[in-house]
Chains A and B, each alone.
Chain A
Amino acid sequence: MSCHEGRVAARAAVRRLLPRLLLGLPAVALLTLFFVLPYVEMVAMSFRAPAFGQPFGSGHTLMHYGRALGDPIYTGALLRSLLTGALITALCLVISFPLALHLSRLQGRWHVVFYACIVSPLLIGVLVRNFGWMVLVAVDGPFNRWLLAAGLIERPFRVLFTQGLVVMALVHVFTPFMVLPIATALRNVRPELRDASASLGAGGWETFRRVTLPLSFPGVQAGVTLVFVLSVAAYVTPALLGGQGIAYMPAVVVRELIGSFAWPFGAALAVIMAASTLAVVTVFTLATHRLAERTRG
């Protein structure tokens, strides 16, 4: 009897919820058709044969992977992108942690003001933010004039089109992506835990190292993963601020696709870039697995 009632209730719930679930279909269709399938198409494209006068030919081949992995131009660019991505991620983490801590200690009006300072760059295009750096570091720009006026340098620095500027500008672009997950995680660290640590005799630094840091680790893990993935594939900033000298992987890929019109080879390079990024993220997740588990337990 109760079993029958259960079934009736379940059927009623389905009838009530089904229309709701159907509402999700258009979005699922959009993302399946124009997001999932394009990624499938990218992998498929990387196995197509090359052709003259058109982007790709008929037939399938593995030659693009052989060519990409056998040529130091491409492996070098890939390695440079991965290393630079790691450097950018580390720098983002270093400046984001103090910001997130600061945010987590503020209340009310000031919290909103500083939160807005960190979030609003997210709503301004990467191009515009890069351009801000071009203005600031120009040979006759404010940085050089201030340094000259202060007598710290004798001749203006040439910063534009250097790797240092690319790294700095990308740290600037990705910092909000690191601050937000860490700040969320810090919000979940209850203040009583810090008080307890202090009352047990731990100093400020020790409390930070043994209580706050481990408890906010899931946020760090999320931020590091996101920033690394995004920075390895960053195209605009190196293209605008890095000049022609240094080749990063995204620029190489775009050149093959748009410049040389070699779609299968460009696709193979993109797949290699995505796969190596994923490999690094997997290693990082596995290596920090125990730290993250400790927080959850």
Chain B
Amino acid sequence: MKTNDNPYIPYHATVEDTWFETGGERAIKTFKVVFDDEEVRKNWSHRPGQCAMIGVLGVGESMISISCSPTEGEFLRFSVMKMGKVTQALHQLEAGDKMTVRGPYGNSFPLDEWEGKHVLTIGGGIGQAPMRPVVEYVKANYDQYGGLTMIYGARTSGDLCFKKEFEDMAQDDELSCHLTIDIEEEQWDHNVGFVPQILLDVNPSPENTIAVTCGPPIMIRFVLENLKKLGFEDDQIYTTLENRMKCGIGKCGRCNAGNMYVCKDGPVFSYAELKEISEAFA
């Protein structure tokens, strides 16, 4: 998709709706945005797992996962944690405000290859954002997949993203949805415990299954360990990498993990690929 020869020139978009997923100093806010230009809106296409550079003119840009599936409609969703200069500026935006978007960038989850397989997502905190499009995509094309299992956790119930959606999915008998928080809370009727432990409790079969995991590095480490315990092979496991990025198109050099540019060759990697990248777990 190109309406512009210069890949560094962003498109203008309007925040149609926005809400907080979590609160606190590092709050997570979700933005539903629509491109201002109708042609851009029509021509835009992205795949689950891809990212976009979103920003505010005069402040800068950040690479953020697109947290919606193209099956959901002609809009984009971004869930942004308030961290630095750009994300602080993004958090100031309300419905009707403008932001800039360019992309989509990077590779994506090979959902075509996964057809016929059971998809298992294991997420922690903001790590669910890049996997949400996978969940939505598989739900929208449910008859083409062998099923969907989700494990998602956060420190407290207040730190869970997409809570309403998850609670609805937890009621859906067709889906296998397991929510967890680290510490017991009143009026919490889901699991309590760390995500890697819940994974062992759920005990998914590795047969004809793809596992996708995103979350804090420490969680990923133990999830990988436990997936191996459950019998998953390296090429059945997928995750995403992140690094500091500036250009998004493999020029600025910042995001390299070993010989890979995370912005172009990633962000999605199978565990089999990651093991070959010297800097992947740095």
A binds B: no
Residues of chain B having any CB pair with chain A under 8 Å:
none
